[in-house]
């Protein structure tokens, strides 16, 4: 039987894994056989418990990527060969009112931390001549402008660019680098949109699938990109959006 989607024998670090998309990704990787470290600035107890209940292997670490260099010491000798950069934050305000603090906070977590975490991961793999996979969580706003989220939009455009430059540099070293661009997913980040009847209606009318996405929709695509089935996929930004960008 083919094992092209199996992650047995792999070790993964998933950032922002205490809830939402990150939690779903951690669970999906564990279900495919990976040993998963759930990293979050809050406790990942629930994620680890769900992994164990499903028969998987998981542990956790506290990791606050408000310090963009917080993960750089995690990889040396630790045996990780899968990295999912999922942690992210969002701040909403009209662009004329947007503050420097809100700009810097979002860019630090969503872009600067993504690069320096991936850099540390890549350095370790290259030093030991090992192959591996990086999956960054981008956004529809890697392609569009959005409304009232200037730093988030800038950061996610940046994530798409970083994904491509790292893919170019590392493909010959056996490391693939891809990104997932989630559509409108029912998470904490979209709570304000879902609570606004007019905005929620307008969003749903634009989505051909006719529903908000579920974190599990992102998890399956991420597991694919981490698997041997995606060994020749690198530099891709995969839209998982219910058809939003097609309309």
pLDDT digits (tens, 9 = 90+) for 144-177: 999 999 999 999 999 999 999 999 999 999 999 9
User: 70 near 63, Cβ under 8 Å?
Assistant: yes
Cα→Cα distances 168→49, 164, 165, Å: 37, 6, 5
Rounded to whole angstroms, how far apart are CA atoms 116 and 70? Answer: 9
Locate the domains of the chain by residue range: 11-240
Residue 230 has pLDDT above 70, yes or no: yes
* Token pair belonging to 172: 């010959």
11-240, superfamily in CATH? NAD(P)-binding Rossmann-like Domain (3.40.50.720)
pLDDT digits (tens, 9 = 90+) for 47-70: 999 999 999 999 999 999 999 999
Rounded to whole angstroms, how far apart are CA atoms 14 and 136? Answer: 10
What secondary structure does DSSP assign to the chain, as a single string?
---TT--TT-EEEEETTTSHHHHHHHHHHHHTT-EEEEEESS--HHHHHHHHHTT-EEEEEE--TTSTTTTTTS-TTT---EEEE---------GGG--HHHHHHHHIIIIIHHHHHHHHHHHHHHHTT--EEEEEE--GGGTS--SS-HHHHHHHHHHHHHHHHHHHHHGGGTEEEEEEEE-SBSSGGGHHHHHSHHHHHHHHHH-TT-S-B-HHHHHHHHHHHHSGGGTT--S-EEEESTTGGG-
User: 240 near 135, Cβ under 8 Å?
Assistant: no
User: What pLDDT sits at residue 191?
Assistant: 86
pLDDT digits (tens, 9 = 90+) for 12-30: 999 999 999 999 999 999 9
pLDDT digits (tens, 9 = 90+) for 68-114: 999 999 999 999 999 999 999 999 999 999 999 999 999 999 999 99
User: What pLDDT sits at residue 2?
Assistant: 61
Residue 1 has pLDDT above 60, yes or no: no
User: 137 near 179, Cβ under 8 Å?
Assistant: yes
Task: Output the CA torsion sign for 135, 140, 142, 147.
Answer: negative
Range of weakest confidence among 141-145, 192-196, 235-239:
192-196
Average pLDDT for the chain: 96
Cite the active site residues.
152
User: What pLDDT sits at residue 80?
Assistant: 98
Q: 77 — phi, psi (to 5°)?
A: 70, 5
User: What pLDDT sits at residue 107?
Assistant: 98
User: What pLDDT sits at residue 192?
Assistant: 83
């Amino acid at each position: 039987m083919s094992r092209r989607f199996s992650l047995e024998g792999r070790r993964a670090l998933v950032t922002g894994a205490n809830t939402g998309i990150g939690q779903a990704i951690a669970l999906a990787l564990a279900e495919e056989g990976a040993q998963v470290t759930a990293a979050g600035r809050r406790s990942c107890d629930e994620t680890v418990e769900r992994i164990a209940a499903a028969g998987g292997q998981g542990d956790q670490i506290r990791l606050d990527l408000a310090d963009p260099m917080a993960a750089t010491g995690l990889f040396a000798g630790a045996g990780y060969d899968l990295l999912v950069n999922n942690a992210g934050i969002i701040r909403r305000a009209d662009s004329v009112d947007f503050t420097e603090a809100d700009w810097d906070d979002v860019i630090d977590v969503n872009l600067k931390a993504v690069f320096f975490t991936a850099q540390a991961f890549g350095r370790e793999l290259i030093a030991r001549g090992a192959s591996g996979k990086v999956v960054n969580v981008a956004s529809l706003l890697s392609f569009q402008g959005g409304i009232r989220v200037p730093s988030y939009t800038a950061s996610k455009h940046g994530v798409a660019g970083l994904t491509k430059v790292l893919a170019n540099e590392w493909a010959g070293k056996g490391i693939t680098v891809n990104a997932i661009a989630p559509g409108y997913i029912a998470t904490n980040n979209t709570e304000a949109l879902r609570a606004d009847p007019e905005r929620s209606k307008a969003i749903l009318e634009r989505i051909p699938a006719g529903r908000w996405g579920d974190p599990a929709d992102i998890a399956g695509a991420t597991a694919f990109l981490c698997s041997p089935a995606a060994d020749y996929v690198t530099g891709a930004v995969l839209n998982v959006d219910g058809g939003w960008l097609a309309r």
